[in-house]
Amino acid sequence: MDTASCPRCHQPINPQAINCPHCGYTLKAYGHPGIPLHRATGDDYLCSSCTYEKDDSCNFPQRPLAKECILYQNEAESQLELQQQQLNNSFASKLKNWVNRNQSFLLIVTLLFVCLLIVLLRR
Ligand code: SF4
Ligand SMILES: [Zn+2]
């Protein structure tokens, strides 16, 4: 089972937990395990690092001074995920192109491999 830690008491908790069983800290919004409640730490506001603040698509009334938010998305983390996705996509498409361009070569190599296997098994 996955584990997480409570942001307040730092005790291990179940990631689905609605409240921390050790200190009672609220971890999910509306008592629903599928709605994480993000909280700002220290004096910062969540909005200053949120994707929806940067692209000006948020219309929550607490913007730009949200200390708690259910929709917060860290801009740096989303950028990193996007870059990783682009990298994976470009590798997959390069591999697909290479396979398409070298189909006959791959066929010959596969045939040679099968022949070799037959010869080795007959010994
Ligand atoms: S989604 Fe939440 S954290 Fe993000 S800008 Fe809107 S209010 Fe702020
Ligand atoms: Zn706790």
3-state secondary structure the chain: CCCEECCCCCCEECCCCCECCCCCCECEHHHCCCCECEECCCCCCHHHHEHHHHCCCCCCCCCCCCCEECCCCEHHHHHHHHHHHHHHHHHHHHHHHHHHHCHHHHHHHHHHHHHHHHHHHHC
pTM to 2 decimals?
0.68
Please check whether residue 36 lies inside any domain of the structure: no
The pLDDT of residue 2: 67
Tell me the per-residue pLDDT of 37-59, one tens digit each, with 9 for 90 and over: 999 988 999 999 999 999 999 99
At residue 108, the pLDDT reads 95
Residue to substitute in 47, 55, 56, 74 for testing ligand 1 pocket (most ligand atoms within 8 angstroms of CB): 47
Q: Which ligand is nearest to the CA of 55?
A: 1
Residue 86 forms part of a structural domain: yes
pLDDT, tens digit, for every residue of 67-118? 999 999 999 999 999 999 999 999 999 999 999 999 999 999 999 999 999 9
Within-domain flag for 111:
yes
- The answer to the question of residue 80 being in a domain is yes
Query: How many domains is the chain built from?
Result: 1
**Structural domain contains residue 49:** no
Range of the structural domain that residue 107 is part of: 76-122
Asked whether residue 43 is domain-assigned, the answer is no
